[in-house]
Structure 1
Amino acid sequence: MPPSAAPGCTGRTCEGQDPVSMGCGGADMVTTLATHTAGDRRVELRYGKPCAAVWARATHLHKGGRVDVTLQGRPSQRIVSQGGPRYAATPMTAATVDPSRATVCLPPAEGARRCFTAGTES
């Protein structure tokens, strides 16, 4: 979607919506607030200013791999990966507070939960 086009939702109306289908995921519309890599897996915390929403985008997750994104005062959003190199995105959560306060977590099948926020790269 061109950056001049209006997104399909903004703020609270984006809650639980898909960032791509709502027109919030265009290259000129998104800021990557943080990136986490482990091997070939990559997870990004993304903020779409025109949509006033945050979400996580991941690639190369193992089948069944989960990613959660949370922002204070909003419901947590989750994806469960089907595996493979494709990008997958959590549903969006409204950025009703500073989007840099969002947290992305990778709950493992076993072991410690790994989380990161804006400004943390790993």
Structure 2
Amino acid sequence: GPMLAVGAVGALIVVVGAVLLAPGGDDAATAAPPPTAAPTTAAPELPAGVECSGADCAGQDPEAMGCGGEFARTVATGTVGGGRIEVRYSKVCSAAWARLTGAAVGDTVRITAGEGAQDGEVMGATEAYTPMVAVRKPSDAEGCATLTSGTKGCAEPAG
């Protein structure tokens, strides 16, 4: 008779399992609120229109994310050929990016911070800017440009 006993216990477990799973409606209801509540934890610190901060900004467009304009300042400038490199830094976004002006199509600009780097290329205008890199302070970033002629120049914020 031992086999019979094992069979009975197995059946009992299945029944208990079904009872635990049955009130699935409650599980779904309790699981729903957190996703809607989560974004509000980060939001209050950021001014209206600012969409990211720190690592969330990495690789994003600074203008589209609201980190440019009034929230950004130029922390370093450099020249390369006839162009000008700027390292732009947004304290609100804890991010930096590089901008190249007075450039020609095909010239490239890169921002580097620690392990991260982002590139921008002049496509049809005379300027380009890179996506952002996350930085704690302006001096964590360096902006460099390479012209199609091979000339290179950098701008590095001071400590």
TM bucket by the smaller chain?
0.7 to 0.9
Q: Over aligned residues, Cα RMSD in angstroms?
A: 2.2
The number of residue pairs the alignment matches comes to: 113
Report the CA distance between 1:41 and its aligned residue: 2.1
Report the CA distance between 1:102 and its aligned residue: 1.1
Structure 2 counterpart of 1:13:
56
Structure 2, unpaired ranges of 5+: 1-45
Q: Normalising to structure 1: TM-score of the pair?
A: 0.79
- Tell me, what secondary structure is at the counterpart of 1:13? helix
Which is helix-richer, 1 or 2?
A: 2
CA contact under 8 A between 2:79 and 2:153: conserved in structure 1? Answer: no
1:78 aligns with 2:119: yes
From 96, 109, 132, the counterpart of 1:92: 132
Quote the Cα distance in structure 2 between the aligned partners of 1:16 and 1:71.
Answer: 12
Letter in 2 for 1:117: E
Which is strand-richer, 1 or 2?
A: 1
Percent identical pairs in the alignment equals: 40
CA contact under 8 A between 1:65 and 1:83: conserved in structure 2? Answer: no
Q: Normalising to structure 2: TM-score of the pair?
A: 0.62
Tell me which of the two structures has the higher relative contact order, counting C-alpha pairs closer than 8 angstroms and 6 or more residues apart.
1
Structure 1, unpaired ranges of 5+: none
Letter in 1 for 2:64: S
Give the greater-gyration-radius structure (CA).
2
Letter in 1 for 2:52: C
Report the CA distance between 1:17 and its aligned residue: 0.2
Letter in 2 for 1:88: A
Letter in 2 for 1:45: V
Letter in 1 for 2:123: Q
Letter in 1 for 2:88: R
In structure 2, the CA distance between the partners of 1:6 and 1:111, relative to structure 1 (3 Å rule), is: closer
Q: More deviation in 47-56 or 32-41?
A: 32-41
Report the CA distance between 1:83 and its aligned residue: 4.2
